[in-house]
């Protein structure tokens, strides 16, 4: 009788939550949070000094704007338990009826913990895309872009991939931590952004070199550090599968960084920190969709292939003539595609059993259809991200208040001064502006 009464009390109290799992997912949330300023520092170092601060600022704005969108309806549209095959409903708009009730994807953690964790994924994705249009885009339209893009692009693709009724999930697509919703989404959106906003002045004639290699190293360190919550946290539990995700993430990043470094060395006969960092990020991108599905030896293969493919993909912008300022498409778009396809080959059913999940695996398990499924999912995500982003930016650019690009003098002046009235490197910037403006009649000077 006492046992029956205790069970009735537990049922009345609500679902049983695991405090260890909740603590791990909250810690992972903090790790993914630090990736957002990490992106900003990584991009700021790659840009010219007069645009460095604006790139960090845009990353932080993504946290704020997307955080609000996620609260209003982003979480509900992205991860509703009983939406359609295409998009979620508004049952959880303004986080209604979330509370302690677990989401099906995280049965041992509260809905609010899962929601907060997933908001970090939503926030970092458009921040990645900004790198393609760096050094010539206005900041005010970026605020509108962040909100609208999250609603029209990120929310549907995240729903397809992760929601219980999402069509890619029911198709059998394997995407553990965001190969399509995060990386292919941001990479193909970045390509659309670069095409709509146009090339920087001097593209193809001047060399746009990184201005601060220390910032690139710092940004890479923050990204690598945060990725140990990004992928392992996607287990939404403190278990063996999270451990596998952690080790394969580290192996892929290390291997890809060394691969890119050595490929660049053959040309320059220098060991470049910049090339190592680019390769490490490419490896992190590629292993993301596979991190909860593959053995450690496979992560080594992922790193080699991602480092090589993304290294050569950086030449595409010169061959095809588009100005992806910070190689977002080459690293995230191409890297995400590489990771998705390799997942179809190397996914191992035995890894999923570490948290009692069941998958058919990839080619190594004799499941030959998995690679075509991965290709279809990649094509759907890439196509949606590119087409919707292009249309949205094209329309925005026709509205005077939302014009995407700064004028010629503002671009020469730099976005830090022309868009923010603040300087990342005050004494260096003022000397440069005085030198440039001395030969321009009627040119205004920065008062910052």
Query: Exposed/middle/buried for 198, CB within 10 Å: 0-12, 13-18, 19+?
Result: middle
Distance CA 434, CA 164 (A): 58
> Is 439 within a domain?
no
Which uninterrupted H or E stretch holds 420? none
The residues, any chain, with a CB within 8 Å of residue 174's CB and separated by 6 or more, are 289, 290, 293, 343, 344, 347, 359, 362, 370, 373, 374
pLDDT tens figures, 67-78: 999 999 999 999
Checking if the pLDDT of 443 tops 60, the result is: no
Asked whether residue 408 is assigned to any structural domain, the reply reads no
Determine, yes or no, domain membership for 416: no
How much of the chain, in percent, has pLDDT values that exceed 90?
A: 85
Q: Quick one: pLDDT at residue 346? A: 98
Count Cβ atoms below 10 Å from residue 284 Cβ, excluding itself.
31
Would you say residue 302 lies in a domain?
yes
On the question of pLDDT at 434 being above 80, the answer is no
Residue 151 Cα distances to 70, 236, 381, 389, angstroms: 9, 24, 15, 11
Confirm whether 355 is domain-assigned. Answer: yes
The pLDDT mean for the chain works out to 91
pLDDT at 425: 82
The CATH number assigned to the domain holding 90 equals 1.10.3430.10
- Structure confidence at residue 427 (pLDDT): 59
Dihedrals φ, ψ of 106, to 5°? -140, 75
Q: Given a cut of 70, is residue 21 above it in pLDDT?
A: yes
- In eight-state DSSP terms, residue 232 is G
Q: Which of 204-218, 322-336, 423-437 has the lowest mean pLDDT?
A: 423-437
Token pair listed for 413:
């002046």
Is 411 inside a domain boundary? no
Contact criterion met (CB below 8 Å) for 226 and 31? yes
Is 115:95 a contact under the CB 8 Å cutoff?
yes
Total domains, the chain: 1
Torsion angle, alpha carbons of 205, 313, 180, 300, to 10: -140
Q: Decide which of 430 and 9 is more confident.
A: 430
Predicted structure pTM score:
0.91
Q: What is the reported pLDDT for 357? A: 87
Q: Which residues are bridge partners to 106 per DSSP? A: 103
Q: Tens digits of per-residue pLDDT, 23-51?
A: 999 999 999 999 999 999 999 999 999 99
| Kind plus residue range of the DSSP H or E element containing 37 | helix 19-46
Residue 417's closest CA among 426, 76, 123? 426
- State the pLDDT at residue 69: 98
Residue pair 51/135 in contact (Cβ under 8 Å)? The answer is: yes
Inside any domain, residue 250:
yes
For the cut 60, the answer to whether the pLDDT of residue 17 exceeds it is yes
Q: Which of 144-153, 171-180, 200-209, 348-357 has the lowest mean pLDDT?
A: 200-209
Q: What is the pLDDT of residue 10?
A: 39
pLDDT-based confidence at 206, cuts 50/70/90? confident
User: Is 119 buried (19+), middle (13-18) or exposed (0-12) by CB count in 10 A?
Assistant: buried
In this structure, are residues 252 and 284 in contact, taking their beta carbons and an 8 Å threshold? yes
Asked if residue 42 belongs to a domain, the reply is yes
Give the residue numbers spanning the domain of 41. Answer: 20-402
Q: In the beta sheet, which residues pair with residue 137?
A: 405
**Least reliable range by pLDDT among 78-82, 204-208, 259-263, 408-412:** 204-208
Summarised one tens digit per residue, pLDDT across range 412-432 is 999 999 999 998 887 555 555
The dihedral region occupied by 305, where left means phi > 0, alpha psi between -120 and 50, and beta the remainder, is alpha
Is 90 exceeded by the pLDDT of residue 207? Answer: no
Q: Is 97 exposed, middle or buried (0-12, 13-18, 19+ CB in 10 A)?
A: exposed
- Residue 340, token pair as written in the block: 């998705």
Q: How confident is the model at residue 447 (pLDDT cuts 50, 70, 90)?
A: very low
Q: How confident is the model at residue 445 (pLDDT cuts 50, 70, 90)?
A: very low
Average pLDDT over residues 248-275: 94
172-195 per-position pLDDT tens digit:
999 999 999 999 999 999 999 999
């Amino acid at each position: 009788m006492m046992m029956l009464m205790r069970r009735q009390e537990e049922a009345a109290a609500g679902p049983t939550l695991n405090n260890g799992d909740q603590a791990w997912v909250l810690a992972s949330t903090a790790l993914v949070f630090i990736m957002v300023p990490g992106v900003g520092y990584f991009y700021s170092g790659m840009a010219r000094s007069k645009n460095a601060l604006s790139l960090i600022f845009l990353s932080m704005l993504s946290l704020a704007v997307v955080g609000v969108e996620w609260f209003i309806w982003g979480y509900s549209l992205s991860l509703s338990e009983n939406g359609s095959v295409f998009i979620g409903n508004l049952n959880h708009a303004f986080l209604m009826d979330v509370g302690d009730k677990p989401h099906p994807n995280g049965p041992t953690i509260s809905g609010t913990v899962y929601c907060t964790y997933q908001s970090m994924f939503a926030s970092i994705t458009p921040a990645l895309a900004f790198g393609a249009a760096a050094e010539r885009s206005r900041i005010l339209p970026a605020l509108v872009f962040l909100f609208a893009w999250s609603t029209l692009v990120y929310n549907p693709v995240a729903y397809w991939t992760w929601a219980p009724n999402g069509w890619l999930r029911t198709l059998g697509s394997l995407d553990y931590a965001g190969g399509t919703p995060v990386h292919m989404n941001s990479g193909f959106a970045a390509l659309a952004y670069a095409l709509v906003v146009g090339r920087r002045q001097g593209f193809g004639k001047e060399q746009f070199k990184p201005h601060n290699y220390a910032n690139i190293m710092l940004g890479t360190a923050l990204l690598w550090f945060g990725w140990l919550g990004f992928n392992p946290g996607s287990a939404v539990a403190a278990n063996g599968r999270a451990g596998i995700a952690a080790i394969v993430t580290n192996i892929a990043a290390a291997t890809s960084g060394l691969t890119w470094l050595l490929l660049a060395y053959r040309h320059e006969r220098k060991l470049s920190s910049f090339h190592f960092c680019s390769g490490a990020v490419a490896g992190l991108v590629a292993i993301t969709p596979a991190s909860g599905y593959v053995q450690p030896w496979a992560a080594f293969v992922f790193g080699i292939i991602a480092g090589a493919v993304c290294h050569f993909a950086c030449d595409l912008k010169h061959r095809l003539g588009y100005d992806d300022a910070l190689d977002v498409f080459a690293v995230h778009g191409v890297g995400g595609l590489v990771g998705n396809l390799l997942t179809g080959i190397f996914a191992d059913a035995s890894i999923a059993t570490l948290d009692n999940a069941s998958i058919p695996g990839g080619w190594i398990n004799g499941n030959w259809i998995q690679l075509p499924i991965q290709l279809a999912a990649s094509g759907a995500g890439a196509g949606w991200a590119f087409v919707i982003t292009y249309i949205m930016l094209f329309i925005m650019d026709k509205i005077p208040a939302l014009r995407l690009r700064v004028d010629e003098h503002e671009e020469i002046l730099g976005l830090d001064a022309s868009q923010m009235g603040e300087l990342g490197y005050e004494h260096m910037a003022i000397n440069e502006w005085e030198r440039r403006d001395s030969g321009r009649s009627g040119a205004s000077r920065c008062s910052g």
